[in-house]
A and B are shown apart, each in its own frame.
Chain A
């Protein structure tokens, strides 16, 4: 069964450093999403992406964040200068055309020291 994959599973970085979280969505899906979950809190929407453009972003997704689909398979989330409060589990999801179900990856746990 096709699945969404994410790498790395755990990333530790120093405050102020750039990180790139990688996702490989399901191959024929066209809609992509990033969510995050700070420990003990709700899963929160960050951004959605379609047709090589951001279709919606939350107030969390400020200028420090960016997303890219650099090739036909990867979907990345970049944080330019990490803050302590960026420590969270980051989930990637994808959705096929004409469906309402998002398929999630296993997440990347980001720890900012």
Chain B
């Protein structure tokens, strides 16, 4: 079946540091890939997505590139801010029902 493995946290960075959160997946065919973010006390919000190989999703300074050859979708940001502190979830869907398969989530804390 489908599965997502992401880097376990917590990850603690200083403001303006470079962020990478690794995500790899197992799925047949070409799944759609997502990063969701959960800020404290809020629901899961879509951060970015990519639907085919070599697509780059981007939003709010975050980027992730769909790499079919390495089955990866790593999240990056060049300069993190305190307001980026949240839990980040990598997810995929494959198939007509659009059910999402999630990774365990990575807690990011950015210190001033």
Which A residues fall within an 8 A CB radius of B? Answer: 3-4, 6, 31, 33, 35, 40-45, 48, 55-56, 91, 93, 95, 100-107
B102 contacts across to A, CB distance below 8 A: 35, 42-44
CB of B70, distance to nearest CB on chain A (Å): 21
Candidate in B42, B45, B98 with the most chain A CB atoms within 10 angstroms: B98
Other-chain contact of A35, B97, B100, B103, B105 (Cβ < 8 Å): B100
- Our pick among B32, B97, B103 for the contact of A55 (Cβ within 8 Å) is B97
Chain A interface, DSSP helix/strand/loop, else mixed: strand
Interface size on B, residues (CB 8 A): 23
Other-chain residue from A55, A101, A105 in contact with B43 (beta carbon distance below 8 A): A105
The 3 nearest A-B residue pairs measured at CB = A104-B44, A43-B102, A106-B43
CB distance from A91 to the nearest CB of B (A): 7
Q: Digit string of B88-112 for contact with A (CB within 8 Å is 1, else 0)?
A: 0101010001111111110000000
Q: Report whether A43 and B105 are in contact in the complex, using a CB–CB cutoff of 8 Å.
A: yes
Q: Indicate whether A100 sits within 8 Å of B51 (C-beta atoms), given known contacts A48-B97, A48-B99, A106-B43.
A: yes
Residue from B36, B49, B99 within 8 A of A56 (CB atoms): B99
Q: Which of A41, A93, A106 contacts B42 (CB 8 A)?
A: A106
Shortest Cβ distance from A56 into B: residue: B97
